Amino acid sequence: MQASARVIAEVDDDGITRLVRLRGEPPLLLRETPTVDGSAEVHLVGGAAGPLGGDRLSLRIEVGPRAVLCLRTVAASIALPGRGRDSSLVSVTASVAGGGELRWLPEQLVAAAGCRHHAVNTVELAPGARLLWRDELVCGRWREEPGDAEIATSVTYADRALLRQSLSVGPSTPGWSGPAVLAGAKATGSLLRVDAAMPQQGPVVLGPTAVSMPLAGPARLITATAPDAHTLRSLLDPCSTGMVSRR
């Protein structure tokens, strides 16, 4: 299956973020949800199981100056094998103009046994743009060994590389569950915040398997591993970690 979706958010004359374009194709179904603070929020509703082997799915996000957009998913995504050995691909490409803000806070990606999945994220931020970006990966379902999955994220700020990150898990990746990578953890993820107004702070240990680190730019990255998805979410919650204040 091949499908694409696109979201464009802009600010109107009253300072309210409006979705000037909201288009999706099954299984990428987009639904706007109400807010009370002038921002816009969209939920991605999966119109079919998967992604399945052979799927090619793409989402394009554009946030204009001073616009604030939050994207979520209504449920976890489960990467599943197809009938053959084809891999699945989900690509998310986002651009945020100066003064705009994007919050990408989906539910977890679960790499089911036998899958061959690639997630590719590319984000371009103009000077003064803000970003909150979370990726979470669960290695297999309950009592299940994972398939092969790779998450690659590239973030550019003011035309300069801010983050280049890639993680591969599964039977085709030697040593992925060893002490140099996940050390037997079932779940792993990261939370990136980019904001020029964010106070400068050194490294902070958040727990035995979670750390918050400053990047070479107006950004901070939390990386964590956990025995399960629930524990991982507690380590990557934007409010409890101090990445954002409660609204």
Q: Provide block-wise average pLDDT over 10 residues at a time, the chain (247 residues).
A: 95 96 94 95 84 94 98 94 90 98 97 96 98 97 94 97 96 93 95 93 93 95 96 92 63
Per-residue pLDDT, 247 = 44
What separation, in Å, do the N-terminal and C-terminal C-alpha atoms of the chain show?
38
pTM of the full structure: 0.94
Strands (E), the chain: 2-11, 17-23, 28-33, 40-46, 56-63, 68-73, 77-79, 88-96, 101-104, 109-111, 116-125, 130-138, 148-157, 160-169, 187-194, 204-207, 210-214, 219-226
- Rounded Cα gap, residues 50 and 78, in angstroms: 5
In this structure, what DSSP letter does residue 241 have? T
